[in-house]
Amino acid sequence: MLKTEDLSIGYDHCLLEHLNVQVRAGEFICLIGLNGSGKSTLLHSLCGLQKTLSGNIYIDGKNIDSLKQEAVAKYFSLVLTDSIQVDNLSVFDLVSIGRCPHTNWLGYLTPKDKRIVYQAIEQVGLASKLNTNFNSMSDGEKQRALIAKVLAQDTPIVLLDEPTAYLDVLNRIHIMQLLKNLSKQMNKSFVISTHELDLAMQVADTIWLIADNQLYVGTPEDLLLQNIFQQVFKIECDYSEETSVLFHLPQDTPKVPIAVYGDDRSSRLMQKALERKGFRVTENASICIWAKGKTFEIDGKIFTTIADVLNYVAANYSD
């Protein structure tokens, strides 16, 4: 859906260069990095808000530089970090603004537009707050309303810059779970910058990790297997605990059972990745994955990354 070609980004100096990444349909990507590493700049550059230094960005095969602003607004929606205040707007009014790329210059809402707005509000659990003044709501409710606005915009790619920045722990968990569920239900691609590493490890299909002016890309388990987190954060990682988390988000109803055997560390990371994608890992299943160091064998095929195994299993063994 979206890909970059030798992309360099920054302002008065280059923050990241030679970026060649992809965003696939329905993919949930968490963007992680220290403050000032370039997370916001990357998000702004992907949707054309920030001019790139060099390279190209393609959306559905079209160079984003060749598209008019109105066309770009139908591909990307964006929620920024800043906490906003809007006077005299109800939740319905705020979410309706998301329909702007699809309405006429007067902003007239057709019955179809209104249905989309109502649906977006319902999807984020704010149906009872339809006519509530936005400024009177809690921070968690405000963030849900802003998410509803981008859902009403109905773009295939949703970019969120620190969507949990001003929320308490419980609301951070709820918002990340909501975003993950929406991505799966609506087959929308989400790219979310976050400092919530523990949450990202549970929900992300792919991690984009910015460190030392480089972008590391992979599933959470691939980055662990390649020792990227350990190198970047300069930490010692006990392999027996590297897949543990402080809490567990609820998973979908398990899909087909799969057995994982072999190297202890690789098999543990493979198991974690399968469970995150909704597969049930159990012994004596008819489908078997053999973990051997940094390679994985299934059906006589050899794969070198956990991401490739997940893609193969999803293509061949999903219900």
Mean pLDDT, 10 residues at a time, over the chain (319 residues)?
92 89 93 88 91 92 88 87 76 91 76 92 92 90 90 92 85 88 90 88 92 91 87 63 54 76 90 88 90 92 94 85
Tokens coding 317: 């063994």
- Specify the pLDDT at position 246: 47
- Specify the pLDDT at position 296: 95
- Specify the pLDDT at position 29: 96
Q: Which residue, among 178, 205, 151, has the nearest Cα to 314 in the 3D structure?
A: 205
36: region left, alpha or beta (phi > 0 left; psi from -120 to 50 alpha): left
- Specify the pLDDT at position 248: 54
- Specify the pLDDT at position 13: 86
Do residues 135 and 87 touch, judged by C-beta distance below 8 A? Answer: yes
Burial of residue 288 (CB within 10 Å: 0-12, 13-18, 19+) is: middle
Amino acid, single-letter form, for residue 214 = Q
What is the spatial distance between Cα 259 and Cα 271, in angstroms, rounded to a whole number?
A: 9
Q: Which domains does the chain have, with CATH numbers?
A: 1-75+155-218 (3.40.50.300), 90-153 (no CATH), 257-317 (3.40.50.800)
Q: Cα 201 to the chain's mean position, in Å?
A: 11
Do residues 248 and 277 touch, judged by C-beta distance below 8 A? Answer: no
Residue partners of 76: CB distance under 8 A and separation at least 6: 46, 47, 48, 155, 157, 158, 159
What is the spatial distance between Cα 132 and Cα 129, in angstroms, rounded to a whole number?
A: 5
- Specify the pLDDT at position 128: 93
Over its C-alpha atoms, the chain yields an Rg (Å, rounded) of 21
Do residues 249 and 173 touch, judged by C-beta distance below 8 A? Answer: yes
Tokens coding 148: 């509803």
Do residues 283 and 257 touch, judged by C-beta distance below 8 A? Answer: no
Residue partners of 151: CB distance under 8 A and separation at least 6: 98, 119, 120, 123, 124, 158, 182, 186
Q: In Å, how far are 106, 118, 224, 242 from 112, measured between CA atoms?
A: 16, 10, 46, 48
